[in-house]
Structure 1
Amino acid sequence: MGQLPNMPWSIHSIMLFFALGDVLLVSTEPVRTAMIQIVKTSVVEGEKVEFRCVISAVHGEQAENKGRNWFHLYKNREKISSQPEPGGRGAVTFTKQDITKNDAGNYTCMYGNENPGDVKNISHGSSVYLNVQELSYQLTLQLDKHNPMEGMDVSFKCMIPAELRDAAGEESFFHLYKDGSRVDSQAAPKGVPGVAFDFKNVKRSDTGSYTCVYGKEKLVNSANSKRSRPVYLHVTEYMTATSQQKLTGEMTTPNTSIKTQHTDGRGKCE
């Protein structure tokens, strides 16, 4: 069997050639990774978390045309957010509000082009694991109408369950939140472990996720207070006769025509 001719490049050269074909997709150079920093690695649902992504000084000196360089935040090797590098500072902060159990996972940072493509097989450098503790729901929030029409009245009833009343404390204020912003507050009546938040003539803009919180009159951090599971209110558009006619369209005309034929023909279609 004849010998293979001498190749002008080695197998290492071939691998390097393919690697250079798309540096962003297969490169494992440290210049493509970034350090990730986090203040707390264990948080409770509802808290805010800030991820700080920083590139090394060496990379900062080598980088050219910083306007095209981006930071990317990954969770379990799936990209979840991106930001351009601001003014060559070499760092950005990713903020996640209202953390939930689904946000738990392993987070890493990458530094590169705006669209890095598939980087699942690249070494992502430093990483942090975020542990999210499930919030203990200590209130009950009930809504009498989940899908009211515009102009209707709705009522939220916020109560402390019987088994938790002895440990409820003396904060004595109930607060109603919509999408994380407080919309109403009431002092707890003496001897009554709950309140009702009544809304008159609701509008489409009232649609949202509502949560009840029990604590002091002025809350510093609602995430650390007793709270309920969220309840979703969906306000639908008020259906006038004109609106219904627009929705049915031409279907109204044949029905009217048939009824007229029966009336005019005394039971016979002409």
Structure 2
Amino acid sequence: MSNPPVRPLAERVVIVTGGANGIGRAYCTDLVLAGCRVVVADIDGDGAQALAQALSGEVGDERAIGVAVDVTSPEETREMAQAATAAFGRIDVLVNNAGSYPHVAFDAIDLEAWRRVMSLNLDSVFLCVKAVLPAMRAQGGGGIVNVATNLVWSGLPNMTHYIAAKSAVVGLTKALARELGHEGITVNALAPGAVIPDRRLSLAGARAVDEIVNYQAVKRPQAASDLVGAMRFLCSPDADFISGQVLTVDGGLTMH
């Protein structure tokens, strides 16, 4: 019996928004080491360029570029896509990772704060997808991975606007998968749990960490390293026949 064909991730061009820090940094690092060419896109332009230079130096090739981008700006998201195609010639995958998760009681959320969280977590996905679609259509396909949260399945007090935005991202993922599939473009979502260190946890302290771990099927805190494999899979050719799905990685805290 012959061996199954190798389906390499190498040489895929991936844009990661919010890529300079936190979990986005872990995604960028893992994808570069897997052979991808990565656009580290972040509002922290200096941080994005520094990470790109470090990653390129580590693998001995220009595998990454850093791009300063405000993902709530139509102009800057278009410039991000243009920078990717100028550097690498194509855009195979967009990872919509940028976002924020303020911890505020519902009664304390005014309309301005509501719209700000919606803009960064939901409008940014809309704008970044709009920006990359021309390149993906021209090359005959591509993939989009939207980062959601496991909280869309369970809810949590004091994060109403964040969870509402991420729930809309899940709906947008499914709608886009239906609309873009005939063009060879897949759309999926990754829903992480609470990663240590994480602002949601630091606000509550060690007791909250223990409570979360107690409810998980896997009895240990989640780290960024627990997410990179799932992201690498969703960015790979092995996921090319998967679309409209939400992959939850939270140690079995939520099951659905």
- Shorter-chain TM-score tier: under 0.3
Larger Rg: 1
Q: Which has the higher strand share?
A: 1
Q: Which has the higher helix share?
A: 2
